[in-house]
Each structure stands twice: as C-alpha cells, then as structure tokens.
Amino acid sequence: DTAVSQTPKYLVTQMGNDKSIKCEQNLGHDTMYWYKQDSKKFLKIMFSYNNKELIINETVPNRFSPKSPDKAHLNLHINSLELGDSAVYFCASSHQDRLYYNEQFFGPGTRLTVL
Amino acid sequence: AQSVTQLGSHVSVSEGALVLLRCNYSSSVPPYLFWYVQYPNQGLQLLLKYTTGATLVKGINGFEAEFKKSETSFHLTKPSAHMSDAAEYFCAVSRYGNNRLAFGKGNQVVVIP
C-alpha cells in the first residue's frame, strides 16, 4: 500500500505553461508539505498545510499555489513555468501531535523539466 | 532556529569498510534528530530517529547513530558497507512545537567494490 503518492512522476513541459502536481496520503496524517530538491540535492520547504490550513509559506514565487481540498490531499499548481523551476518536487506528511515528533513521510517525487 | 551541518558532500567507502557520516546540529531547545536515505530516483526514507531516551539508536539496514548533546552531534555509522548502501543521506533536525524539518545538504555515499 502506497503511503504518500504523487502524480505524475515525470513532467516535461515548455516555458510559460501551467502545470499541477497532485499528492495524496493514506496515513491519516493531518499535516502535509511540499519540498523542492534542486540539482545539488538540496531540500527546501515550500509550503505546509495542517487540516487544510496553510501554516508554512516560504519565500517562493507567487506563481506557485498550493491547494488542500482535504487533509489527505495537497496539490501544487505552478503558473507560467520558468527554466529555474526544473527540479524534483516532494510531497510529505506527518502528524502534528507532539507524540509523533514531526517525523515526516515522503512521496516518490515528481521530476519537473522545463524546456 | 534549527540548522544542520553535514560536511563532505561526497563520501567514498570501500565495500566492507566502516561508513561514517557526520552531522552537527544547532538548536536552542532539545532536538529531534533524523537520518533519511534517498536511493536514486526515489523519495526519502527514514533510516532512524532520536527523540528522547536512549542516545544510541538503531535503524534499518544495519545503521545506527548516537546523540551526543555535549558535541551537538548525531553521526551515522554502519560497521560494514554494502554496495546497496550507495545513496544520498540527509540529516535533519526538528523540535517540539515546530513543524519544520531543517535538512543538511546531504552526503552522497559511493561504495567502491
């Protein structure tokens, strides 16, 4: 059973296009995250939602817009894609309750290539 | 704010030799510490974690790490490297009341036959 799943796994698109990445978790967690991993493997937090409420909103271009229809889903929509958006995007989830120590579970990633 | 330092982005180790990856953290309150592994073209998988209690923690695939508060360290070791250990390893820190995981820059481990 897949715990955190993302679609699509690969996404190749032209500059200027709009695209979305979907994430779903079946772990019963209440908090979900989006990370960006650059070509040097550095992981940067972008957003986090707790029970559909935005709780972390890092300094990312406003072309990036997360949406959480329910606590099991967190989607990422990107407008007007640029070359610099090429990266691997990871979704993750966790329990916010302190008993779970913020252990995060990661999805398999979506490799976005902007041409 | 918490932060993590991992030195040496690339680590080469001979098959059968000791694997040692160093992690030093900065946190003003008791930390929660994690090691994650990322195999090629995959997501991050938890290797082990320290939250409270015993400072030597054992994880999957024969890895272990020791929390040393006096040295603000959480180094990862494995006595004997296997070819399947070739991957990227990330140390991360969090704390009570904070959703953020602060990641180090990662170590790419190469295992030499």
How far is A22 from chain B, CA to nearest CA, in Å?
Answer: 15
| Structure confidence by residue, pLDDT tens digits, B65-85 | 999 999 999 999 999 999 999
Closest CA to B110 of B2, B19, B7: B19
Is the distance from CB of A73 to CB of A21 less than 8 angstroms? no
pLDDT of residue B18: 97
Q: What is the pLDDT of residue A81?
A: 97
What is the average pLDDT value for chain B, to the nearest integer?
93
Q: Which pLDDT score, from 0 to 100, does residue A98 have?
A: 67
Residue in the block written with tokens 């908090």: A31
Instruction: Identify the residue whose tokens are 């360290």.
Output: B73
The answer to whether residue A2 scores a pLDDT higher than 90 is no
pLDDT band at B2 (very low <50, low <70, confident <90, very high): confident
Beta-carbon separation of B46 and A48 below 8 A: no
Query: What is each CA distance from A52 to A62, A74, A76, A85, B62, in whole angstroms?
Result: 19, 8, 13, 25, 38
Q: How far apart are CA A88 and CA A77, in angstroms?
A: 14
Cβ atoms of residues B32 and B53 within 8 Å: no
pLDDT score, position A99: 67
Interface probe for A, chosen from B2, B27, B38, B60 (most Cβ of A below 10 Å), is B38
Q: Best mutation site among B101, B105, B108, B109 for testing chain A: the one with the most A CBs within 10 Å?
A: B101
Average pLDDT over residues B14-21: 97
pLDDT tens string A43-95? 999 999 988 888 888 888 999 999 999 999 999 999 999 999 999 999 999 98
Confidence of residue B95 (pLDDT cuts 50, 70, 90): confident
